[in-house]
Amino acid sequence: MFSSIRLIGEADNEFCLYCGKSDSTWYTIAGKITAKDYKILMDSGWRRSGVLTRKSNNRKSCCPAYALRCDAENYRFTKAQRKVLRALHHYLKIGQTSKDKKKPLVKNELDRDPPIDPKGLASSIHKVSLETSGDSGFSSERREDPVNTGRPNSARRRRWQALQDRMAKRAKMLGVPYEVLLKEYHVRRQKRLDKNKPKELEEYLDSLHGEANPAHTIDVRMYSCSNRSPEFEATLDEEFRLYSDYQVTIHSDPLDKWTRDSFIAYLVDTPLVSAHNAEAEAIGAPQFGSYHQQYWLDGEKLVAVGVIDIVPGCLSSVYFFYDPEYAFLRLGTYSALQEIAFIRHLHRTYGSVVPAYADFTYYHMGFYVHSCGKMLYKNYYLPSYLACPETYAWTPLEKCRRLLDRTKYARFAEANVEKVSSVDVDKVVILLPLSTSLTWILPKSQCTVEGNTIVTTVAAARRILSEHNFKLVRDWANLVRSTGTMRINFT
């Protein structure tokens, strides 16, 4: 199985999705792309919108966009995110918000990646709003044994020393070893810490379904985009109505901007393909590919849809849209937490028995644009990492932010980390249309025929490739860390 890629090239003076100025972006169109190859592209700073994949030229762009991923297994659940889930739980339980009134419409609720306007490429990208979630701080403080904590003369250290002195006097008075009382103290302290330990993300999510007679229920249904079931097909009209309402209300799109066909092309059709995994199927794990996660209220009203890609090692959030009438529930934050929990579920449930899920621990959240204030919410999904634009090494977001405070383009990796060597353009595999003349010209030992297509390399076809096409391949090869099984389609 291989990927088929058509190169479009770099488009300068594009309308910037984040500030409205001019941008510079490289585009390709994927006829089909394996899940493994798409993971290579994502790790190299590419993202897909439907079958279109794009990468910002960060050195030239007004708003450099860096690939961002969150470590789901070590995710730090924030106080503000717990508040969102408690408010949702309150609504499901009694049918109203905790303040007995709906909050104002929340625009920019975790949009994920911007949509590509169907009416053109160079002039069609429209502005998208991304929400600041309002999250701040971390879910819990670092807890340490007082024996090993604090400066030598700190108040905490002095209190601990005084406690030890009291235990020593009490041990002498009772005639028992000091170590016995110290051990009892540590047991009591650990019980107290366990009792006060913040709940895990999964506990909060499970509580949404734990009421005996709730006023409302919410459930998630997942459908494959690659093999659309009749049940999924039956919901697409409802999805399109929801999407249209969302785009018009939240992003102020014209009523006629999106059609059902353009919606299907952008969010339902997918270029992702993957070899069937029998081990995953045998125990109920999903195959790699694209999915829709639909959020249903009371089992009958579709209130939100999350579009995701499941690829080796990670879940990628493609897009999210919701019913503006339910913006007060902060469904964007809820869905992101649900997706993080889903990653952990897949890894913890199937990782030990399905090799494909053994390292499934990351949540790809699209691009991070430091200059875009509406992306501040991504600072609160931690620990997160940005891909260095020169080495592709994943670097802690906190470090990257300090660098980006000084300059909009930065190399994140340490100086001793070598820059990724360019892909050898001569070895890039290309597809050419089958013709008698080409079969005579091309070295027979360096090409094969598959149906109506000639499979060869740039080196073998160099003298028949136009300068334009050769430059396209060369420039593209400099923008990826590996070609995987990708073939450049010139048919």
pLDDT tens string 170-194: 999 989 998 988 899 888 888 776 6
Token pair, residue 365, equals 């959240």
Confidence of residue 199 (pLDDT cuts 50, 70, 90): confident
Q: Which residues, 6+ apart, have CB-to-CB distance to 270 below 8 Å?
A: 50, 51, 225, 226, 289, 290, 309
Confidence of residue 144 (pLDDT cuts 50, 70, 90): very low
Rounded-to-integer distance, Cα 227 and Cα 309, Å:
14
What size, in residues, is the chain?
Answer: 491
Share of the chain above pLDDT 90, in %: 69
Confidence of residue 113 (pLDDT cuts 50, 70, 90): low
Question: pTM of the full predicted structure?
Answer: 0.81
Q: Is 53 helix (H, G, I), strand (E, B) or coil?
A: strand
Q: Which residues, 6+ apart, have CB-to-CB distance to 174 below 8 Å?
A: none
Residue 411 has pLDDT above 80, yes or no: yes
Residue 123 has pLDDT above 60, yes or no: no
Of 70-79, 97-106, 261-270, the poorest mean pLDDT is in 97-106
Rounded-to-integer distance, Cα 166 and Cα 172, Å:
10
CA distances from 472 to 37, 120, 325, 462, 467 (A): 19, 21, 46, 13, 9
Of 93-97, 235-239, 294-298, 332-336, the poorest mean pLDDT is in 93-97
What confidence score (pLDDT) does residue 6 get?
Answer: 97
In this predicted model, what pLDDT tens digit does every residue of 439-487 receive, in sequence order?
899 998 999 999 999 999 999 999 999 999 999 999 999 999 999 999 9
Residue 95 has pLDDT above 50, yes or no: yes
Q: Is 453 helix (H, G, I), strand (E, B) or coil?
A: strand
At residue 86, what are phi and psi to the nearest 5 degrees?
-65, -40
Rounded-to-integer distance, Cα 103 and Cα 242, Å:
20
Judge contact between 204 and 227, C-beta under 8 A: no
What confidence score (pLDDT) does residue 134 get?
Answer: 36
Nearest to 258 by CA among 124, 105, 130: 124
Residue type for position 97? T
DSSP E strand boundaries for 263-414 = 272-273, 289-297, 301-311, 314-322, 362-368, 384-387, 394-396
Judge contact between 238 and 115, C-beta under 8 A: no
Residue type for position 404? L
Please name the residue ranges forming H helices in 44-177. 79-94, 155-174
In this predicted model, what pLDDT tens digit does every residue of 354-398 receive, in sequence order?
999 999 999 999 999 999 888 888 999 999 999 999 999 999 999
Q: Which residue has the higher pLDDT, 141 or 429?
A: 429
Residue 328 has pLDDT above 50, yes or no: yes
DSSP strand pairing (314-322 vs 66-71): unpaired
Residue 278 has pLDDT above 70, yes or no: yes
At residue 214, what are phi and psi to the nearest 5 degrees?
-75, 155
* DSSP character at residue 140: S
What confidence score (pLDDT) does residue 140 get?
Answer: 32
What confidence score (pLDDT) does residue 433 get?
Answer: 96
Rounded-to-integer distance, Cα 236 and Cα 265, Å:
12
Of 76-85, 97-106, 295-304, the poorest mean pLDDT is in 97-106
Average pLDDT over the chain, rounded to whole? 88
Q: Which residue has the higher pLDDT, 21 or 134?
A: 21
Confidence of residue 293 (pLDDT cuts 50, 70, 90): very high
Confidence of residue 57 (pLDDT cuts 50, 70, 90): very high
Confidence of residue 50 (pLDDT cuts 50, 70, 90): very high
β-pair partners for 486: 3
Judge contact between 214 and 93, C-beta under 8 A: yes
The most confident of 140-154, 204-218, 314-328, 419-433, by mean pLDDT: 314-328
Of 97-106, 210-219, 333-342, 375-384, the poorest mean pLDDT is in 97-106
Average pLDDT over every residue of 227-234: 96
